[in-house]
Amino acid sequence: MPVNNSESALCLEKQSCFSLYSAANAMVRSYRTALLELDLTYPQYLAMMVLWAEDGITVKAMGEKLHMDSGTTTPLLKRLEAKGLLERVRCKHDERSCLLHLTDEGRALQERASAIPEAMACKASLSEEESAQLKHLCDKLRLDLCGQ
């Protein structure tokens, strides 16, 4: 007969994975409101942040930076292209590669998005040090789980 008490290893409240999952969902929901005026989803916002830092990046490098496979990255980039925020251009020296370039509209969106990180930081009651620790622990966990 299964044990059903708070001492069980299967107790939901004891699971750090559930806490991480719940916090990630809450974070994405919090961004949703801020991103509405930019007409971006959270994954699209992440992709735009990569492009604002590295215009001209390859699709493959974009996927690596976002830790997404091509099956996820390609439709995301197609939607951003349909919104007029980026262009996908075949690489001249390697037809298999595709480069991503911001459009004027995509570059202009950066200024409108510039207040989002601070606004989101204000929603959380974490100090700068706690925020840095959280990022470090999340990065470490991802690397451990990916076998790196």
Sign of the torsion angle spanned by Cα atoms 19, 24, 27, 32: negative
Q: What is the pLDDT of residue 38?
A: 95
Q: What is the mean pLDDT of each run of 10 residues along the chain (148 residues)?
A: 69 91 94 93 97 95 94 95 95 82 97 92 89 94 89
Q: What is the pLDDT of residue 95?
A: 72
Q: What is the pLDDT of residue 4?
A: 62
User: In this structure, are residues 57 and 100 in contact, taking their beta carbons and an 8 Å threshold?
Assistant: yes
Q: What is the pLDDT of residue 110?
A: 97
What number does CATH give the domain 30-120? 1.10.10.10
How is the chain split into domains, by residue range? Answer: 30-120
Sign of the torsion angle spanned by Cα atoms 112, 33, 123, 68: negative
